[in-house]
Chains A and B, each alone.
Chain A
Amino acid sequence: MALRDSKASGTRLLLFMASIILGIAAVVSIQSFSENLEENIAIQSKALMGADFLIDSDQLPNERVWAIMDSLGGADAKAATFASMVVFPNTGKTKLVSVRGIDGPYPFYGELQTEPALAADQYQESGGALVDATLLMQYDLKVGDSIRLGNSSFAITGSLISAPGTGGIGASIAPPIWIPYRSIEETGLIQTGSRVGYDFYFVADKDQDLQELDRVVDPMLDIENADLDVHDTTGQRIGRRYNNFAKFLNLVAFIALLLGCVGIASSVHIYIREKLQAVAILKCLGATRKQTFLIYLIQIATMGFVGGLIGVLVGLLLQLSFPLILEDLLPFDIAISLSPKAIFLGLLLGVLMSVLFALTPLLGTWYVSPLQVLRIQENGIVKSRNASLLVGLAIMAFIFIFCYWLLADLRYTLFFVIGVLVVFAILSAVSILFMRLVKKYFPSSWGFTARQSLLNLFRPNNQTTVLILAIGVGTFLISTLYFSRDILLARASIEDSEKAPNLVLLDVQSEQRKAASQSIDEAGFPVLDDIPIITMRMQKIKDSTVREIIADTASSINSWILSHEFRVTYRDSLVASEATVDGEWPQTNAQANIIPISLADNVARDARVGIGDQIIFNVQGVLLQTVVAHIRTVDWARMQINFSIVFPSGVLEDAPQFFVLTTNVPDVRASAQLQQTLIQQFPTVSIIDLRQVLTVIEDILDKIAWVINFMAFFSIFTGIIVLIGSVRTSKYQRIKESVLLRTLGAKSKQLLRITALEYLYLGILGSGIGIVLSLMGSFLLARFVFDTVFVPSWVPFLVVLPGITLLVLLIGLLNSRTIQLTKNVVASPGENRESRYRL
């Protein structure tokens, strides 16, 4: 019976189905891709690390670490990695790079891909360098040319195409250059203050239990400021990072699915209302409530299953494009395969969400009286309040459980569900309010066509609210993306004034400081900052030594505090990016035994210290007793040199230190010239051009925005399908009206105007509310999360609003073509019928 009935309602059920296809496709594609990503990372975890496990540290290992490494059979290869400037002698150009000195046949797994291929085996022996392939292309270099790193020159042995642990976002800022480990010392690049990462790579025995090794050895190394990482946990960490992004995309896809479900609920409501008479007939002929309910439940569930199936297929096809879309954001290639879990999820979502969202209108069949066969009751669908409430709760529970499954965080799930509800509620409330206001203050003075199109928004079976919801949510998502991008870029942007530094010289040694300042001055640029930096570690926090805290499993002090090498400065006052939270700025007192210091609030929080607590620092062997006198907030996102710990002047002046100099150069060319001059004079100094960094950030944000936009368009497309569905649903009614109007003398142009204006109202209202909501949300985001001034981009107003309105108009008109073409003949209510009645 369900099948027979659905046969005649095929087109309409197909449209219901289409509402969820895109949402399911989006969820399945992301889910399946995440699964593939996880699998690939698990498979490639050894290749990503290039070894079975490694021991790393940001300082040369002490005797105890060497002893541990020896007890593990000694490292099979080692590497030292640091940032530096490379000079290309042919052109004199310079660039910040990531230098990697390698000793040993690393990598042991995965491939060191070079051009020529033999270069991978020869560079260590020949003493040459492997240079990032993109860098070679950008600077027009070839194998055989030379580069200069610090005090040494290297011949380019090969171009570095891929290697374990390279690629991804980091390579855009500092591309990799590999040299033999033994050549590092000659470059003179490792000096006081240099940030160097030392990695010791191990190949495990076949039967070695790596997890056990991690469990036993890692805590021993933690005490010595070193770490042990095994390949699979490193893989899991990388996987988690990308999974977080995938989770976010999944939520965007889920919104598209929710939107489709709202479309289903609305369409099924109208569908069931039209079926109530048939339900009454069936009941009259002896069908029980369960039988009639099941007829339509089976129809909806089947529709959900088929929709889910098509969605799964589309989603699986779609995920094939993801490696291309995410190519620049991923550090490795991904092999795509079918994910049974994602397929099951798609089908389950299809059936479950269709049924859940259709249940409220479906309940109407339960309460239809067979007496309706004799008397047509105009009271529409009667439902039990309790049953409707239960269905509502079931929907909420499902959304909550699904989101929790995606996010695995109760707080975020709550925020997301409440956020979605608020947006949906505001959009619905505004559309209802709008209709009430128009009804109350109906513009009676308007012309006939304008009035008629406005009246169409209130027609029985209208889907004005659901359409505004669909268009609004889609627009909201896209606009929020634009606005968020504005906020992030505004936070990262460099102040466009001569006083704002845009070129930073790092690792300037004491003996280079004066000459470097002079060179900048001679080039005609100001030295804006001359910041001393001293490196130190925490030795004792309050009454416990760091070793005791590490050994104490109950300690709530964050572990990074205990192993971190802090870069500390000294000065007399706060800078622009800082604000006092507690205490008073530490005053200089060279005689005091205990030195008052200022901590950034995040450090104070993670170290569990407050005003008056004592901390002992180890400054290259010398212990300094300090007391927390001041706690401040630091705006870390500002493009300037920030510090978590600041000493007062007059204490650290004689400690071994290095300097950071900053200047402002007006353009890219002047910046390149100054960099060349400085690197020629001071080859060991690293220079960061903040403008270049900003370009990289912009580029990354663009790539991420592209991916998110791609997902947001699913909402818009779902909205379009809901729109087509609604036009189709009201088609017969519209045709009847058009016939009436034509009979009364309406011209085609007038009919067209009525329809066009109706969709214009819908488009403007939906996208307008979406943008305004997004503007409000972004303002709150900027004010309370990023603490920045929000200057919205014009793109959503100038492009998104008219674009989406036009799209709605076009879809509406295209689907109303048959209505426009209608003469004074009207088709019968049953579609696909031969007979036609004259009015």
Chain B
Amino acid sequence: MSEILKVNHLGKIYSSGSKKLRVLDAISFSVTAGETFAIVGPSGSGKTTLLGLCAGLDSPSEGTIELCGTNLGTLNEDERALLRNKEVGFIFQNFQLLPTLTALENVIVPLELRGVKEPAKIGMDLLDKVGLQDRFHHYPSQLSGGEQQRVALARSYSGKPSILFADEPTGNLDQETGDKVVQLLFDLNKEANTTLVIVTHDMELAQKTQRIIGLKGGKIVSNQSVAVS
């Protein structure tokens, strides 16, 4: 299997005046295409920073990241945006839907940015899949938290991404709703055969992936494969 994400000697340092804060230090790992992968660790361990760097949302201070065969360090901001649009999907803890767009409009945003003509059909199908067939024209503020995350889920798969990054996807949901969303996430992932990278401090969720790396103080402290049931 080919490597879809390759992280090599990654480091991130934040500067505040003369003070420097190292958030990530010598991180190296790789993820193969179709693999499900979790990054776990306590608050402040650098999980979200690592996710941002892997997805090309930020630039590293040291090391390299290769995403879908492209070295992110060679791309400018707009080129990274185009790569994200083509290859990457996102799920966020706080859903991050556009409040001024309806559920359907939110789902088709990545397609529209790509210039796909008449993307509504794809959007409706996806909303149908996540059980929101009667919520097409509702605004985010008219939906519950679970429904909003399902819209986000539909949006993340609308562009048929090669890799999907999920940042604490159940962090803002109650146990029952969270479980349903996780189930949907894995079902859709299996169906689309997408690589899934989840950042979480929820070990129960992490255990559902094939591999887990543990972070502490910006360093990898464990890297283990999980026997998926």
Contacts and interface: CB of A to CB of B under 8 A. Distances in A.
B41 interface: no
Interface in A365-386: 369-371, 373-375
A4 B105 contact: yes
Given A8-B139, A833-B141, A834-B142, A288 B96 contact: no
Residue with the greatest number of chain A CB neighbours at <10 A, chosen from B51, B55, B99, B105: B99
A830 B139 contact: yes
Given A8-B100, A833-B141, A284 B82 contact: no
B92 interface: yes
A284 B155 CA distance: 12
Nearest to A7: B100
Interface in A179-222: none
A373 B101 contact: no
Nearest to A6: B100
B113 interface: yes
A374 B110 contact: no
Contact of A286 (B58, B85, B92, B105): B85
B26 interface: no
A285 B86 CA distance: 9
A143 B90 CA distance: 94
A374 B100 contact: no
Residue with the greatest number of chain B CB neighbours at <10 A, chosen from A1, A284, A285, A833: A285
Interface in B43-96: 48, 51-52, 55, 57-58, 77-78, 81-86, 88, 90, 92, 96
B167 interface: yes
A286 B141 contact: no
B171 to A, nearest CB: 12
Residue with the greatest number of chain B CB neighbours at <10 A, chosen from A5, A284, A373: A284
B48 A289 contact: no
Contact of B140 (A282, A287, A369, A830): A830
A262 B97 CA distance: 31
Contact of B113 (A286, A370, A375): A286
A373 B57 contact: yes
Given A9-B100, A288-B78, A374 B139 contact: no
Contacts of B81: 283, 286-289, 370
A830 B110 CA distance: 22
A240 B191 CA distance: 78
B109 interface: yes
Contacts of A828: 141
B112 interface: yes
Contact of B96 (A281, A369, A829, A830): A281
A829 B48 contact: no
B129 interface: no
B114 interface: yes
Contacts of B109: 1, 282, 285
Contacts of A371: 52, 57-58
Nearest to B97: A281
A286 B114 contact: yes
B203 interface: no
A278 interface: yes
B98 interface: yes
Nearest to B85: A286
Contacts of A288: 78, 81-82
Interface in A283-305: 283-291
B138 to A, nearest CB: 9
A284 B112 contact: no
A445 interface: no
B142 A289 contact: no
Given A284-B57, A285-B110, A287-B113, A374 B52 contact: yes
A835 interface: yes
B68 to A, nearest CB: 13
B167 A374 contact: yes
B113 A284 contact: no
Contact of B90 (A8, A278, A284): A284
A682 B207 CA distance: 121
25 contacts: A1-B109, A1-B112, A4-B101, A8-B101, A282-B113, A285-B84, A285-B85, A285-B113, A286-B81, A286-B82, A286-B83, A286-B84, A286-B85, A287-B113, A289-B81, A291-B113, A370-B84, A374-B51, A374-B167, A828-B141, A830-B100, A830-B140, A833-B139, A833-B141, A833-B142
Interface of A: 1, 4-5, 7-9, 277-278, 281-291, 369-371, 373-375, 828-830, 833-835
